[in-house]
A = this chain, B = another copy of it.
Amino acid sequence: MSQATDDSLVISSDPLHPANLIPELCRSFYNLGWVTGTGGGICIRTGDKVFIAPSGVQKERIEPSHIFVLPFPQPEPSPHTDRVFLRRPALNLKESACTPLFWNSFDLRDAGSCIHTHSQHAVMATLLWTGPVFTISHQEMIKGVRVAGTGHALSYLDTLVLPIIENTPNEEDLKDSMAEAMTKYPDAAGVLVRRHGVYVWGTDWEKAKTQTECLDYLFEIGVKMKLAGLPTVLN
């Protein structure tokens, strides 16, 4: 494993630098209930560099100095093992267990940012939609979602369809089934993980964030509608 480390990659006075943005966004995601108890997070890719938060830490208390920087693409065939780093924290930290999942969004969608939440709305949606997909139609918020997460915006007349994959004991083992779902549902803007949460990506952090907000809103209203006995898809 590469030990290369260049601290200047995470030191910036620009509040929009990824090493400053990730801590700030994680704090706001904590307040939304998306990343409570060390789970979830966000990564940002700027061209050939990927900024990733550490694993297993309190996400609302990350500091820029905790951020990992990896080259993109990775020289190795897979970022699953023996990852190469441009910068590692001095502390005894490990990069987010979501790393191979985030990589799916770069490899398969050319994403610039990927968000993972443990939102209860997402988890409840995977419990009430027991099949392989979550679907909802005729909601204004659908217009905030983009085809494949990076394409043009959906229309109010489109039915939103997100695949739901089954959870695995090790987060890294979701990589293949997530990639499979992204291939099978090429227009889907995210992937739900049953009893776990959701992965959502975008061309940059703003779009990844606003799309996650739209999808989370749709999970929440969909769950409310289902529990109230209302149909969630109209013909």
Contacts and interface: CB of A to CB of B under 8 A. Distances in A.
A130 B222 CA distance: 17
A227 to B, nearest CB: 6
Given A118-B140, A139-B195, 10 more contacts: A37-B141, A37-B210, A39-B144, A120-B220, A123-B139, A124-B221, A127-B230, A128-B228, A140-B193, A157-B169
Interface residues of A, number: 42
A180 interface: no
18 contacts: A36-B213, A36-B216, A36-B217, A37-B144, A37-B211, A37-B213, A38-B213, A38-B214, A58-B206, A118-B141, A118-B217, A124-B224, A138-B167, A138-B195, A139-B196, A140-B193, A155-B169, A156-B168
Contact of A140 (B39, B157, B213, B214): B39
8 cross-chain pairs, A with B, having the tightest CB-CB distances, nearest first:
A37-B213, A140-B196, A37-B214, A156-B169, A36-B213, A37-B144, A37-B210, A38-B210
A225 interface: yes
Contacts of A128: 228, 230
Contacts of A66: none
